């Protein structure tokens, strides 16, 4: 571009000099100089116009590319917003499920405490029954001792009514000598 400008200016100046050398009047010389200046100015304006058109075309291309990028970014943004909404919905469902499970857990903890209380009661009952069994075993052993030995035959004047003739038999299935 710069070479074109310089060439145009030189041609204009040479044309002016050639014309001026052949002119006699000052007015003609002035008109010729003015025409040469105008030609130079016109050439400069044309060069600027050409450069401006190139810049305009370049800017249009950049604008087109920016619009494409903007459209792509907008599509990605829409997709991300949809994904965010979906994840937020899933999170809400998860929090609902967590709340539901927390309520169930609280209820189950109450049930466990209730069962623990029942278990303590049962353990107390078992201990009482074990104590009763131990007392009964002791009473049985005492009765055996009074009956006269491990076979446990009743005699007159032993425990119970006199001369009842009841004979206690040992439990044959368990083989421990306990009475049924």
Could you report the per-residue pLDDT of 6-64, keeping only the tens digit for each?
677 766 776 666 655 655 578 888 888 898 899 889 989 999 999 999 999 999 999 99
Residue 151 has pLDDT above 90, yes or no: no
Separation of alpha carbons 133 and 120, rounded Å? 19
Separation of alpha carbons 62 and 176, rounded Å? 106
pLDDT band at 167 (very low <50, low <70, confident <90, very high): very low
Q: What per-residue confidence (pLDDT) applies to 148?
A: 79
Q: What is the pLDDT of residues 89-119, one digit of tens each?
A: 999 999 999 999 999 999 999 999 999 999 9
- DSSP secondary structure string for all residues of 114-135: HHHHHHHHHHHHHHHHHHHHHH
- Cβ proximity of 43 and 5 under 8 Å: yes
- Cβ proximity of 166 and 180 under 8 Å: no
Domain boundaries in the chain? 2-147
Q: How many CA atoms lie within 13 A of 178 on its CB side?
A: 9
- Give the residue from 157, 133, 149, 137 showing the smallest Cα distance to 168: 149
Q: What per-residue confidence (pLDDT) applies to 88?
A: 95
Q: What per-residue confidence (pLDDT) applies to 24?
A: 58
């Amino acid at each position: 571009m710069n070479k074109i400008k310089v060439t145009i200016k030189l041609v204009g100046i040479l044309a002016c000099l050639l014309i001026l050398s052949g002119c006699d009047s000052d007015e003609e010389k002035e008109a010729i100089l003015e025409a040469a200046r105008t030609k130079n100015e016109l050439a400069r304006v044309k060069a600027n116009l050409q450069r401006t058109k190139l810049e305009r075309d370049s800017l249009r291309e950049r604008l087109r590319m920016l619009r494409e990028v903007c459209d792509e970014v907008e599509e990605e943004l829409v997709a991300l917003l949809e994904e965010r909404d979906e994840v937020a919905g899933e999170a809400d469902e998860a929090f609902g499920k967590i709340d539901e499970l927390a309520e169930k857990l609280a209820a189950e903890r109450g049930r466990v405490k209730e069962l623990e209380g029942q278990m303590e009661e049962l353990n107390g009952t078992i201990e009482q029954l074990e104590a009763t069994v131990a007392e009964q075993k002791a009473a049985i052993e005492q009765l055996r001792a009074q009956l006269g030995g491990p076979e446990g035959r009743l005699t007159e004047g032993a425990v119970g009514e006199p001369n009842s003739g009841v004979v206690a038999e040992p439990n044959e299935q368990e083989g421990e000598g306990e009475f049924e």
